[in-house]
Amino acid sequence: MIVVKLALMKSLVLYDSQFGNTEKIAQVIANNTPEAKLLRVSDAKPQDLDGIGMLLVGSPTQGGRATSVLTEFLERLSQMKLVKVRVAVFDTRLAEKEQNFALRLLIKTIGYAAPKIADVLKSKGGELIVPPEGFFVKGKEGPLADGEIDRAGKWSKKLHK
């Protein structure tokens, strides 16, 4: 019986991606997470979260929020679905400092996806283990900024300490 319980305490990397940048980050995180399953949110069901010990969630930032598919999936989860589940969140985003004044002001006003996802996960009972993280893209469609793949690998290793 104990072996079965330990087998269920796996990690799930749940993500959405529009141009492939968030998917690349999610793949690196899954590769650095023991016993992790990588799952695109459009293929996920709430029962995929049953018995997991860690949930890692990522989305591109779109209008200051996660994608609607990811947001709707998380909102459908029962209120205490993530009790005793360790959670971490990431997004892909434009670097604020590299934008023009108007876009910097907009970013300051509407923010990024990861903190909002973290709030939803905490409201479902999840234990946030690190602050939400953002990985930078060079433009709306990417590619990822130089060094972000390596940074994602380093960030994901911090989750297991």
* The pLDDT value given to residue 102: 67
* The pLDDT value given to residue 1: 38
Whether 124 is covered by a domain: the verdict is yes
Whether 17 is covered by a domain: the verdict is yes
pTM value is 0.89
Whether 161 is covered by a domain: the verdict is no
**Which of 8, 26, 9 is closest to 17 using CA atoms?**
26
Whether 160 is covered by a domain: the verdict is no
Kindly report the CATH number assigned to the domain that includes residue 16: 3.40.50.360
Q: Please give the tally of structural domains in the chain.
A: 1
* The pLDDT value given to residue 139: 85
* The pLDDT value given to residue 138: 92
- For each successive 10 residues of the chain (161 residues), what is the average pLDDT? 46 97 98 94 96 96 94 94 96 76 67 94 97 93 95 93 68
Distances (CA, A) of 127 to 6, 97, 142: 19, 31, 31
Name the residue range of residue 73's domain: 2-153
Q: What is the DSSP string of 62-83?
A: BTTB--HHHHHHHHHS-TTTTT
Whether 105 is covered by a domain: the verdict is yes
Whether 132 is covered by a domain: the verdict is yes
* The pLDDT value given to residue 34: 87
Element (H, E) at 88: strand 86-94
Query: Tokens 């929020």 appear where?
Result: 65
* The pLDDT value given to residue 160: 81
* The pLDDT value given to residue 7: 42
* The pLDDT value given to residue 6: 39
